[in-house]
């Protein structure tokens, strides 16, 4: 059964796991809202006292500054807690994405585009983090702030409340218009950046081919196009960004000016609505600038939330990718006479294609066979089926009588030694190449495997011997191939799968590799793939 996962679930789990943090965050967010309202009220009282020629009330001044300090403290505590909380979410999301990655089926892994996958882990997770650091929680705080400021203004100046109730929706719509356009360009930018970031590793990966075919200019132009796309999208974002703030500032100034003018009016009706004391005027100016900031942030927060939702959708898409079948954890009984069996197997990587059609073959324990056939016939595909990476659409693939997909991954290295046509280096030392970080394979096993393949002397001549860090040019192709055999042999597997391992070697090296194989193959079942049939390769099974 595929484990059901979604961004929302990961978030819920994180909130539950860090209950104290979540509760503290909620408390501080609410506290910060209440406390921002208080300083202007105290200030209004103080100024009214002054203008009415009363002496200043010392505790009042202290209270005002104390409240200002407390508001600042609460806001900075809110920001710090939000950052910590956001990081917890990011951590949980990235870990669960990596876990999912490990559970993906071979077919899904094949289909993933590296650039897009990287942006799931990096960019999209970041947008979800922003959802908390500068999205949903700040939005809640800002909405509360706007409401409470409106209430506070209503108490002191009814006229201004009416002006604000009319003005705020217009301001909000303008903000949304600007931000929607910004979002569109940001998405275009992210797409271009993802293509550009995928372009570099792809170029690097194919660098030899690119040099040989002299396609450097083409690759450069392609890259330049991606960057140009990104720049033009960024320019649009910058334009809206540059226009927005001055408009808001001017509007803020106009509202303050109009309210001040109206409060000085001689018309009794106007005065009834807008009249106020000097202290209240200061408080009102304070509130007006306080109410503009959350409206502006509200738009930004909606945008953050939107892009977080887009990010969440892409992450959820990743979560819904097909996982490999949970192995039934069957243990192969090596006393069973048949090492490997294909029973009427029909298989294609996609439902629409058929690569193997009703193929049956049997390989006895201890037997040596060679699969031979034209290129593209499906020989390597048979290996992938034997390794349990794919499940056939029809028929059965059995290893020691057990379906290959039901063998647990942890046991597979004891069952199979798989030598591919080319060596896949893992980051690390020569020893790591052989052990594949498996602590169960001891240094003695590593040495034994190296000696068996005739590679021990070459390795011992290296500066740090088995601990020498591997680079692509540390060994020749033949030596890499020997290392590949050492890697397969180190875990002492029952079955050796050898895919065209001598195809790219000269006659001398081929002889060396074949000799190594002779030694490694003793008492094992050996299945090779070869275009050429050789005396030592045993029974030949044609694949067509
Ligand atoms: P060769 O002798 O050239 O190595 P082969 O007999 O080993 O050929 P396979 O590698 O098994 O052939 O490939 C058989 C067919 O399956 C090919 O048409 C190939 O395009 C297709 N194929 C191989 N791997 C995949 C994959 N991961 N996804 C989709 N199609 C694939
Ligand atoms: Mg092949």
pLDDT, tens digit, for every residue of 37-89?
A: 788 788 878 888 877 777 767 788 888 889 889 988 988 998 898 889 888 98
> In DSSP terms, which residues pair with 402 in a beta bridge?
399
Q: How far apart are CA 420 and CA 504, in angstroms?
A: 12
User: Does residue 515's CB lie within 6 angstroms of at least one atom of ligand 1?
Assistant: no
How far away, in angstroms, is 487 Cα from ligand 1 center?
24
Overall average pLDDT of the 352-373 stretch: 85
- Ligand 1 atom with the shortest distance to the CA of 374: 2
Q: How far is the centre of ligand 1, averaged over its atoms, from the C-alpha of 356 (Å)?
A: 10
Q: Do 314 and 118 meet the contact criterion of CB atoms below 8 Å apart?
A: no
- Considering the chain, what is the average pLDDT of its residues? 83
Helix (H, G, I), strand (E, B) or coil at 103: helix
- Given this model, what pLDDT does residue 3 score? 57
pLDDT band at 24 (very low <50, low <70, confident <90, very high): very high
Cα–Cα distance, 14 to 121 (Å, whole number): 18
Residue 244, pLDDT > 80, answer yes
CA distance 386 to 376: 17
Ligand 2 geometric centre to CA of 219 (Å): 29
pLDDT of residue 54: 73
Confidence of residue 330 (pLDDT cuts 50, 70, 90): low
Q: Which ligand number lies closest to the CA of residue 386?
A: 1
Give residue for tokens 């029952």: 494
Count Cβ atoms below 10 Å from residue 240 Cβ, excluding itself: 16
Residue 144 CB: number of other CB atoms within 10 A?
17
Average pLDDT over residues 242-260: 85
Average pLDDT over residues 513-526: 79
Average pLDDT, integer, range 437-462: 83
Q: Is the CB of 375 under 6 A from ligand 1?
A: yes
Q: Token digits for 332?
A: 């192969």
Q: Whose CA is nearest to atom 26 of ligand 1?
A: 349
Residues 6+ apart with CB under 8 A from 226: 192, 193, 195, 196, 199
User: For ligand 1, atom 21, which residue shows the shortest CA distance?
Assistant: 376
Give nearest CA residue, ligand 1 atom 27: 110
- On the question of pLDDT at 226 being above 80, the answer is yes
Q: From CA 252, how far away is CA 73, in angstroms rounded?
A: 26
Mean pLDDT for 87-103 is 89
Q: What is the pLDDT of residue 1?
A: 44
d(CA 211, CA 95): 38
Does the structure show a pLDDT above 60 at 536?
A: no
pLDDT average, residue stretch 446-461: 82
Predicted confidence (pLDDT) at residue 372 exceeds the cutoff of 70? yes
> If DSSP codes are grouped into helix, strand and coil, which group holds residue 388?
coil
pLDDT recorded at residue 51: 79
Q: In whole angstroms, give the CA distance from residue 386 to residue 401.
A: 12
Q: Is the distance from the beta carbon of residue 110 to the nearest atom of ligand 1 less than 6 Å?
A: yes
* Residue 228 pLDDT class (50, 70, 90 cuts): very high
Q: What are phi and psi of 277, to 5 degrees?
A: -80, 170
Q: Which atom of ligand 1 is nearest to the CA of 107?
A: 27
Residue 533 has pLDDT above 70, yes or no: no
Judge contact between 164 and 153, C-beta under 8 A: yes
Task: Pick the ligand that lies closest to the CA of residue 377.
Answer: 1
In the predicted structure, residue 235 carries a pLDDT above the cut 50: yes
Q: How many beta carbons lie within 10 A of that of residue 243, not counting itself?
A: 11
């Amino acid at each position: 059964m595929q484990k059901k996962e979604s961004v929302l679930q990961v978030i819920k789990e994180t909130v539950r796991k860090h209950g104290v943090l979540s509760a503290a965050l909620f408390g501080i967010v609410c506290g910060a809202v209440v406390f921002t309202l208080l300083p202007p009220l105290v200030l209004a009282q103080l100024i009214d006292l002054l203008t009415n020629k009363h002496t200043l009330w010392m505790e009042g001044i202290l209270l005002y500054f104390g409240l200002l300090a407390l508001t600042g403290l609460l806001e900075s505590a809110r920001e710090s807690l939000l950052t910590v909380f956001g990081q917890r979410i990011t951590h949980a999301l990235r870990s669960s994405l990596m876990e999912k990655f490990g559970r993906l089926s071979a077919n899904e892994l094949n289909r993933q585009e590296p650039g897009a996958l990287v942006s799931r882990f990096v960019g999209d997770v970041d947008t979800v983090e922003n959802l908390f650091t500068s999205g949903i929680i700040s939005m809640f705080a800002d909405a509360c702030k706007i409401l409470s400021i409106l209430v506070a203004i209503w108490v002191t100046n009814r006229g201004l409340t009416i002006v604000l109730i009319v003005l705020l929706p217009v301001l909000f719509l303008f903000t949304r218009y600007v931000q929607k356009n910004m979002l569109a360009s940001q998405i275009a930018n992210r797409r271009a950046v993802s293509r550009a970031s995928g372009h570099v590793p792809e170029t690097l990966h194919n660098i030899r081919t690119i040099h040989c075919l002299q396609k450097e200019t083409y690759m450069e132009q392609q890259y330049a196009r991606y960057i140009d796309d990104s720049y033009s999208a960024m320019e649009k974002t910058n334009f809206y960004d540059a226009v927005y703030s001055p408009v808001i500032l001017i509007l803020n100034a106009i509202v303050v000016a109009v309210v001040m003018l109206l409060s000085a009016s001689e018309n009794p009706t106007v005065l009834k609505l807008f009249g106020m004391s000097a202290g209240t005027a200061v408080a009102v100016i304070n509130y007006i600038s306080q109410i503009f900031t959350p409206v502006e942030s509200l738009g930004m927060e909606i945008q953050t939330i939107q892009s977080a939702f887009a990010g969440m959708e892409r992450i959820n898409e990743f979560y819904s990718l097909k996982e490999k079948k949970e192995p039934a954890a069957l243990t192969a009984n090596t006393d069973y006479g048949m090492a490997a069996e294909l029973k009427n197997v029909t298989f294609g990587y996609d439902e629409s294609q058929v690569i193997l059609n009703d193929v049956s073959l049997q390989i006895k324990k201890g037997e040596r066979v060679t699969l031979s056939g034209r290129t593209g016939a499906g020989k390597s595909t048979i290996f992938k089926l034997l390794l349990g990476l794919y499940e056939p659409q029809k028929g059965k693939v059995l290893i020691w009588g057990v379906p290959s997909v039901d063998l647990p991954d942890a046991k597979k290295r004891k069952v199979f030694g798989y030598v591919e046509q080319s060596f896949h280096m893992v980051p690390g030392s020569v020893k790591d190449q052989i052990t594949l970080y498996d602590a169960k394979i001891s240094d003695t096993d590593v040495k034994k495997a190296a000696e068996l393949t005739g590679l021990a002397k070459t390795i011992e001549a290296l500066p740090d011997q088995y601990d020498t860090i591997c680079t692509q040019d540390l060994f020749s192709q033949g030596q890499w191939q020997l290392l590949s055999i050492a890697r397969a042999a180190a875990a002492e597997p029952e079955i050796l799968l050898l895919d065209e391992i001598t195809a790219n070697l000269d006659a001398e090296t081929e002889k060396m590799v074949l000799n190594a194989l002779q030694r490694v193959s003793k008492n094992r079942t050996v299945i090779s793939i070869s275009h050429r049939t050789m005396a030592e390769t045993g029974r030949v099974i044609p694949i067509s």
